[in-house]
């Protein structure tokens, strides 16, 4: 196979299997030392220096960075590399942009300042929803003319093929154990539904996370004291779990555009998610699922009960999810748009 471009992939903590898969695509891989969570001046400077050293050695023509730290430290490092085009893919605003107490608001201002400096000479900044784009514009991080939107990261429609539904009222949430994924609301809603429908099944799939917003397994067990949620641990392949569920739930507080929802839609599952940036782009309310208010466990429970009581509507909604995935979120379409934005197609 002849490749048009020489591609180098940079990431942190890839397994041997993942590295082998990356290299099988004809791509070289370098492992980075990145502390994904929190601010540590020494660790972050190490990341910046490592990126700068790699950029100087590789002399890239184009850099595409995504997620907060690669964008910030990669963007700053790229400014020291002449004739290099830097693009940023903002996959969500994350915990750092969620306002709260005084210290939290200081963090928001600090992150906005770092983004501004990192993206000063970027060619384009690509977002996964219009709301996130507008936040960056309103905060003065970037100018409107360099801000663009694509439909998330896309989903491989052949890898996530449509699967039939069963009649079992089985709900599934796939998410890291983070407060802002709506874990607590999911547990509370499940407890409400179980009072009326004790045979309903509620599952959670996802690993612990070291984020300040993380929920430890011990805390989860405390929150799930009535054992209403079946915790499934974590996995490298979500397809068997999506296949076994019938309704997919994501009560997240914010997203770029949630990959788990796209995968559930591709497999053909009705969706319940929140009416927040990123999530609301995946659901036509009442067509392929429902949107509920953020942090509203009672409203979430109402929609879960609706599904239990309206089995005859499941297949139509499942079909609509698959059609929306095909029309809007096909990874081939998304990748073509990304390459076009970067002038690489």
Spatial CB neighbours of 150, under 8 Å, sequence gap ≥ 6: 126, 127, 128, 334, 337, 338, 341
pLDDT digits (tens, 9 = 90+) for 114-124: 999 999 999 99
Q: For residue 209, which phi and psi values (nearest 5 degrees)?
A: -140, 140
Distance CA 230, CA 228 (A): 7
pLDDT of amino acid 1: 40
Judge contact between 50 and 33, C-beta under 8 A.
yes
Distances (CA, A) of 331 to 147, 160, 307, 334, 335: 21, 11, 29, 5, 6
Question: Which domains does the chain show, CATH number per domain?
Answer: 32-149 (3.40.50.2000), 170-328 (3.40.50.2000)
271-274, strands of its sheet edge to edge? 229-231, 201-205, 170-174, 247-250, 271-274, 289-292
Spatial CB neighbours of 24, under 8 Å, sequence gap ≥ 6: none
Question: Among 41-45, 72-76, 153-157, whose mean pLDDT is lowest?
Answer: 41-45
This prediction's pTM: 0.90
Higher pLDDT, residue 102 or 273: 273
Other Cβ atoms within 10 Å of 148 Cβ, number: 16
End-to-end CA gap in the chain = 18
């Amino acid at each position: 196979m002849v490749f048009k471009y020489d591609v180098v992939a940079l990431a942190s903590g890839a397994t041997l299997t993942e590295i082998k898969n990356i290299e099988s695509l004809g791509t070289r891989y370098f492992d980075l030392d990145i502390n994904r969570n929190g601010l540590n001046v020494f660790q972050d400077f190490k990341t910046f220096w490592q990126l700068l050293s790699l950029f100087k050695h590789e002399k890239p023509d184009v850099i595409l960075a995504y997620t907060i730290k690669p964008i910030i430290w990669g963007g700053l490092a790229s400014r020291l590399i002449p004739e290099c085009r830097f693009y940023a893919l903002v996959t969500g605003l994350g915990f750092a942009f969620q306002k709260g107490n005084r210290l939290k608001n200081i963090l928001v201002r600090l992150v906005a300042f770092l983004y501004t400096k990192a993206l000063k000479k970027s060619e384009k900044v690509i977002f996964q929803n219009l709301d996130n784009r507008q936040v960056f514009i309103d905060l003065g991080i970037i100018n409107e003319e360099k801000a663009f939107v694509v439909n998330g990261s896309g989903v491989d429609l052949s890898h996530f093929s449509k699967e039939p539904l069963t009649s079992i009222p089985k709900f599934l949430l796939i998410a890291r154990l983070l407060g802002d994924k709506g874990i607590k609301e999911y547990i509370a809603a499940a407890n409400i539904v179980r009072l009326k429908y004790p045979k309903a099944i509620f599952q959670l799939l996802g690993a612990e996370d070291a984020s300040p917003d993380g929920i430890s397994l011990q805390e989860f067990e405390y929150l799930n004291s009535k054992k209403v949620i079946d915790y499934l641990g974590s996995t490298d392949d979500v397809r068997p779990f999506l296949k076994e569920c019938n309704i997919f739930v994501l009560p997240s507080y914010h997203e770029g555009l949630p990959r788990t929802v796209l995968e559930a839609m591709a497999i053909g599952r009705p969706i319940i998610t929140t009416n927040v940036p990123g999530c609301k782009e995946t659901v036509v309310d009442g067509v392929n699922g429902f949107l509920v208010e953020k942090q509203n466990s009672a409203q979430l429970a109402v929609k879960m009960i609706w599904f239990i009581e309206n089995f005859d509507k499941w297949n139509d909604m499942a079909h609509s999810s698959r059609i929306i995935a095909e029309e809007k979120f096909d990874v081939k379409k998304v990748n073509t748009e990304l390459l076009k934005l970067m002038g690489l197609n």
